[in-house]
Amino acid sequence: MNNKGFSLKDLTKKRLFMPIACLVVVLLINLIKTPDFFNISINNGVLYGYIIDVINRGSELAILAIGMTLVASSSGGTDISVGAIAAVAAAVITNILSGGTDSVSEFHAPLAVAILAGLLVAVLCGMWNGFLVASLKIQPMVATLILYTAGRGIAQLITRGQITYIRVDAYKVIGSQFGHNPVPAPIYVAIFMIVVAALFLKYTAFGLYVQTVGINAKAARLVGLNPVKIQFLCYMICGLMAGIAGVIYSSRIYSCDANNIGLNVEMDAILAVALGGNSLAGGKFSLPGSLIGAYTIQALTTSLYAMGVSSDQLPVYKAIVVVIIVSLQSPELYKLIKHHKKTGAEKKNLIKEAVQS
């Protein structure tokens, strides 16, 4: 009994064990339940199939997971406003492109300018969160709750409560495909962002700084780091990532639906981080873990869709997964189980004694 618990603990200590195991489980279930899950075909010049869908749809989530990982590591909190920030960014972009009308068939402003403006607004949102968390020391969830609820309101105001359509082919590129390349474009964007993030972490000391601040902010200050600045930067990057995700979301539907862009995605991003073996209480992080976590969550989502679960109902399953993961991460759980076993054993002994006497 004891032995088993020990080896399990050893295994789960390996950083990437949990996310990979979960991914394998999800894929296995699919293999049994939906055998055509792994079929890939080419329809209208685009790769097609469930597995492609997972990688394609997982692009935004993977990008968001990068930002969420940094936020969780440095501040021991999570940013629940990412979905709303994505909506705001999309609203800004479509509004600039449409020049204030509800549907256009040509750009009213250069695409690059619009996208830059959208990303800038997303960065500003991130800075707002960063200011509240790092400078004012407000609990991350309360601080980001403000934009979580107000963000969509702001997006609605920008789009005047309408769904703004941009019916221009150039706008659809990021969300569909580059020219005749059969691989969906969002995948390239995600790969690009992942590579940029990986290079940034590899060739600067940023990752080390973030972890140091997350583990011991006092010591971090004494070795010459500025914890406030570093946390602020993490929230800013998280905002930028949300903005980039917003661009892809919006391009996919060549419009901005402020109510639905990035809806419930904050939960997925948090799940990706937790599933990746990163503690939501801060400290060491593993980007590969979070990314595997992100695609696992997307695989779960796609499989649930494949099994006929509606998008409204998905959160039920994800909520349960979150509770299971954080419960398993809680040291108190093991204490409780230990205590239970102990009292159980004591009772047994008592019975034994009673029987013997």
Partner 1 sequence: MKKFKDIDTNKFLLAITIVMFFVMYIAGMIIFNKQGFAKPQVFLNLFVNNAGLIVIATSMTMVMIIGGIDISVGSLVAMDCMILGDLMMNKNWGAWASMLFVLFIGIIYGSVQGFLISYLNIQPFIITLAGMFFGRGMTAVISTQMISITNETFSAIAQKKITIPLFGTMNKHGKMMYPFIYPSVIIALVILVVMFVVLKYTKFGRSIYAIGGNEQSAMLMGLNVKKTKFFVYVLDGFLASIGGILFCMNTMAGFVEQAKGFEMDAIAGAVIGGTLLTGGVGNVFGSLFGCMIRGTIESFISFQGTLSSWWVRITIALLLTFFIVLQSIFQKVKAKN
Partner 2 sequence: MKDEVVLEMKNVNKTFPGVKALTDVSFKLRKGEVNALMGENGAGKSTLIKVLTGVKDYEMDSGEVRIEGNPVVIKSPQDAQRKGISTVYQEVNLCSNLTVAENLYADREPMKFGLIDWKTMNRKSQELLSSLDINIDVTKVLSNYSIAMQQMVAIARAVDMDCKVLILDEPTSSLDDQEVEKLFMLMERLKKQGVGIVFVTHFLEQVYRIAEHITVLRNGTLVGEYETKNLPRVDLVAKMMGKSFDDLAEIKSEGGSTKKDEVILEAKGLGHKGTIKPFDLVLHKGEVIGLAGLLGSGRSELVRSIYGADKADEGELDFKGKKLLIGAPIDAIKNGMAYLPEDRKEEGIIADLSVRENIIIALQARRGMFKLISRKEQEEFADKYIKEIQIKTASRETPIKQLSGGNQQKVIIARWLLTNPDFLILDEPTRGIDVGTKTEIQKLVLKLASDGMTVMFISSEIEEMIRTCSRMLIMRDGRKVGELGEQEIDQMNIMKAIAGGNE
The residues binding partner 2 (CB under 8 A) are: 203-206, 208-209, 211-212, 215-216, 218-226, 283-284
| SS3 call for 24 | helix
Query: By CB under 8 A, which span of 146-154, 224-232, 244-252, 287-295 interacts with partner 1?
Result: 146-154
Interface residue with partner 1, options 332, 353, 355, 357 (CB under 8 A)? 332
Q: State the minimum distance, in angstroms, from the CB of residue 49 to partner 1.
A: 27
Closest Cα to residue 292, out of 271, 262, 306?
A: 271
Q: For partner 1, give the closer residue by CB, 181 or 327.
A: 327
| SS3 call for 279 | coil
Interface residue with partner 1, options 8, 205, 281, 351 (CB under 8 A)? 281
Contacts of 51-55 with C-beta under 8 Å, sequence gap 24+, read: 52/184, 53/302, 54/295, 54/298, 54/299, 54/302, 55/184, 55/187, 55/295, 55/298
Q: For partner 1, give the closer residue by CB, 70 or 194.
A: 70
Interface residue with partner 1, options 205, 319, 345, 350 (CB under 8 A)? 319
Query: By CB under 8 A, which span of 29-37, 38-46, 103-111, 311-319 interacts with partner 1?
Result: 311-319
Concatenated DSSP letters for 145-201?
HHHHHHHHHHHHHHTTTSPEEE--HHHHTTTSBSTT-SSBHHHHHHHHHHHHHHHHH
The answer to whether 36 touches 43, Cβ cutoff 8 Å, is no
CA 127 to chain centre: 19
Q: State the minimum distance, in angstroms, from the CB of residue 130 to partner 2.
A: 16
Report the partner that residue 205 touches, choosing among partner 2, partner 1, none (CB closer than 5 to 8 A by kind): partner 2
Sequence-distant (6+) residues with CB within 8 A of 287 are 66, 69, 197, 198, 201
DSSP 143: H
Report the partner that residue 150 touches, choosing among partner 1, partner 2, none (CB closer than 5 to 8 A by kind): partner 1
Q: For partner 2, give the closer residue by CB, 172 or 221.
A: 221
Q: For partner 1, give the closer residue by CB, 12 or 176.
A: 12
Interface residue with partner 1, options 123, 267, 287, 300 (CB under 8 A)? 267
Q: State the minimum distance, in angstroms, from the CB of residue 307 to partner 2.
A: 39
Amino acid (1-letter code) at residue 128: W
Q: For partner 2, give the closer residue by CB, 18 or 233.
A: 233
Amino acid (1-letter code) at residue 63: I
DSSP 36: G
The residues binding partner 1 (CB under 8 A) are 77-78, 80, 132, 136-139, 141-143, 145-150, 152-154, 156-157, 160-161, 264, 267, 270, 280-281, 310, 312-320, 322-323, 326-327, 330-333, 336
